């Protein structure tokens, strides 16, 4: 990932002087707990209706209540994405659903559809309504419109630049939430209909099939050039088995890489001062479908960077270890999205993706005995004596070591920790704490 020093100073001043909120994704209850434990001020989750991640492990009302109680212990909040674009059949029951969210202790809903916004404001006045990024809000007049409608926060479209954010904050006194890390949409945020056409899965009702990440070939119609090619010849040229139509000539050779239109992922760890100084009130991380290791690592790094800047802005320095940590969690190459300029061909992925994540989440620390240096580890991926591992935890806890002797809970020596959620004991080189994580290179 390329990191760039602060490139410009902003003329405006923050409308709020307190620390910006770090908002993390939580695809299930376990991820919620990790996100908050590793430093999130708030998390956003999906319920079992009206959200855009229908394939995630979405929350029941009982799980929401448990999540809210956990969050309260850390002074954190829980938001629910209720951000589909509703069809007529989706509207029935929305008032009851929103009331149940409020009764579960949810602090805010993230909404795109004006009909759902209207119901929420009218029927559940105690529940905050945040405008979803699905509305693609990019200018201050649109932001002012939603403020006048009674919304306290707008989640800007991912296409918003630093200059546009500065102008928005100069004109409208409202909370601004912006994505600062995670996957980018190859379409205008959330407006893609490729999934609908290719698979009959509606992106705006939670069914996106990630068609922008597929591999594609290109063809031309030979009849337009007055050339006839047999279907057998066309199939021989194709880089993979295709159901070719008559006289379609593949433009790729067998050895060519299939075409993809996928965008690189967003990462703003190198630009925390600019994000804070321009007045972004909530730093949003994308990834309700991502792993626990991803959520914990990314939240942990941004937490440290934000706290470091707020403690001493004049002497803030981007630490190389933060960048290294981000790369350990990265799924794709990283860039700065639309913050500085419009992404071009260099900001998209055309070759086969190199899987950047070289680490597995190997174990979770359940207990540590300072007198003996022995830790109890809950296995999350296979590891064995001799493996090189890393421990990390909230606030910058980090060290490497080699796995020594492993024992089960009865003291029997093991040749490996091979069973999911198995508890094993091992000696560690430095003190560690409950909920610290252990990872190893793949």
pLDDT in tens, 270-280: 999 999 999 99
Is residue 68 within 8 A of residue 55, CB to CB? The reply is: no
Beta bridge partners of 181: 267, 285
3-state class (DSSP) for residue 78: strand
Q: Which residues pair with 254 in a beta bridge?
A: none
Report the topology of domain 21-189+262-347: TIM Barrel (3.20.20)
Which of residues 337 and 16 earns the better pLDDT score? 337
Helix (H) or strand (E) segment spanning residue 365: strand 359-369
CATH class of 359-441: mainly beta
Q: How far is residue 60 from each of residues 65, 80, 100, 398, measured CA to CA in Å?
A: 9, 11, 11, 35
Render pLDDT for 358-399 as a digit per residue (tens, 0 to 9).
788 999 999 999 999 999 999 999 999 999 999 999 988 999
Residue 15 has pLDDT above 80, yes or no: no
Q: For residue 10, name the pLDDT band (cuts at 50, 70, 90).
A: very low
Q: Does the fold of domain 359-441 match that of domain 21-189+262-347? A: no
Would the CA dihedral through 270, 279, 12, 165 be positive or negative?
Answer: positive
CA distance 373 to 426: 8
Label residue 352 by pLDDT band (50, 70, 90).
Answer: low
Residue 273: Cβ within 10 Å count: 17
pTM score of the predicted model: 0.87
Q: Which is it for strands 374-379 and 108-111: parallel, antiparallel or unpaired?
A: unpaired
Please tell me the distance from the alpha carbon of residue 331 to that of residue 40, in angstroms, as a whole number.
21
Q: Do residues 265 and 232 touch, judged by C-beta distance below 8 A?
A: no
Residue with tokens 């920790």: 417
Backbone φ and ψ for 180, nearest 5 degrees, come out as -120, -5
- Of 108 and 397, the structure prediction assigns the larger pLDDT to 108
Quote the distance between the C-alpha of residue 279 and its chain's center. 21
45-97 pLDDT, tens per residue?
A: 999 877 665 555 689 999 999 999 999 999 999 999 998 888 898 889 999 99
Domain ranges of the chain: 21-189+262-347, 215-250, 359-441
Encoding tokens for residue 430? 């430095």
pLDDT of residue 237: 52
* Mean residue pLDDT across the chain: 87
Which candidate, 393, 356, 368, 286, places its Cα nearest to that of 34? 393
List pLDDT tens digits, range 255-270. Answer: 777 777 788 899 999 9
β-bridge partners, 155: 177
| pLDDT value of residue 191 | 73
Q: What is the CA radius of gyration of the chain?
A: 24
* Confidence at residue 1, expressed as pLDDT on a 0 to 100 scale: 47
pLDDT of 145-196, one tens digit each? 999 999 999 999 999 999 999 999 999 999 999 999 998 877 777 677 887 8
CA-CA distances (angstroms) from residue 317 to 144, 300, 313, 394? 35, 17, 9, 19
């Amino acid at each position: 990932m390329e990191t760039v020093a602060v490139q410009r100073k902003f003329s405006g001043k923050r409308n709020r002087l307190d620390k910006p909120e770090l908002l993390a994704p939580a695809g299930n209850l376990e991820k919620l707990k990790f996100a908050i434990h590793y430093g999130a001020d708030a998390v956003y989750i999906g319920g079992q209706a009206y959200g855009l991640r229908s394939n995630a492990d979405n929350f029941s009302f009982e799980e929401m209540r448990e999540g809210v109680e956990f969050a309260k212990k850390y002074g954190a909040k829980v938001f629910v994405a209720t951000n589909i674009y509703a069809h007529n059949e989706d509207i029935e029951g929305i008032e009851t659903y929103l009331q149940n969210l409020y009764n579960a202790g949810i602090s805010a809903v993230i909404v795109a559809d004006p009909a759902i916004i209207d119901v929420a404001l009218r029927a559940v006045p105690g529940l905050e309504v945040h405008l979803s990024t699905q509305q693609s809000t990019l200018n201050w007049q649109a932001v002012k419109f939603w403020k006048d409608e009674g919304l306290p926060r707008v989640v800007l479209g991912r296409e918003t630049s630093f200059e546009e954010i500065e102008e928005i904050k100069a004109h409208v006194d409202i909370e601004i939430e912006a994505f600062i890390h995670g996957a980018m949409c190859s379409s205008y945020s959330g407006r893609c209909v490729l999934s609908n056409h290719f698979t009959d899965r509606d992106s705006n009702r939670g069914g996106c099939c990630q068609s922008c990440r597929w591999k594609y070939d290109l063809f031309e119609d030979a009849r337009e050039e007055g050339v006839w090619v047999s279907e057998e010849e066309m199939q021989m040229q194709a880089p993979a088995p295709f159901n070719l139509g008559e006289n379609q000539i593949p433009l790729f050779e067998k050895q060519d890489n299939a075409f993809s239109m996928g965008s690189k992922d967003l990462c703003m760890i190198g630009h925390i001062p600019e994000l804070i100084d321009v007045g972004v009130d909530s730093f949003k991380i994308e990834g309700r479908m991502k792993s626990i290791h991803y959520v914990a690592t990314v939240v942990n790094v941004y937490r440290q960077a934000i706290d470091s800047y707020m403690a001493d802005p004049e002497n803030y320095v981007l630490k190389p270890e933060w960048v290294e940590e981000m790369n350990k969690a990265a799924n794709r190459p990283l860039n700065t999205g639309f913050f500085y300029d419009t992404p071009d061909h260099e900001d998209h992925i055309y070759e086969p993706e190199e899987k950047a994540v070289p680490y597995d989440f190997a174990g979770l620390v359940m207990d540590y005995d300072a007198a003996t240096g022995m830790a109890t580890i809950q296995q999350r991926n296979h590891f064995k004596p001799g493996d090189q591992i890393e421990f990390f935890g909230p606030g910058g806890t980090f060290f490497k070591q080699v796995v020594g002797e492993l024992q089960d809970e009865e003291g029997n020596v093991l040749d490996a920790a091979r069973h999911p959620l198995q508890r094993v004991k091992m000696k560690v080189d430095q003190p560690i704490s409950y909920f610290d994580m252990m990872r190893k290179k793949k």
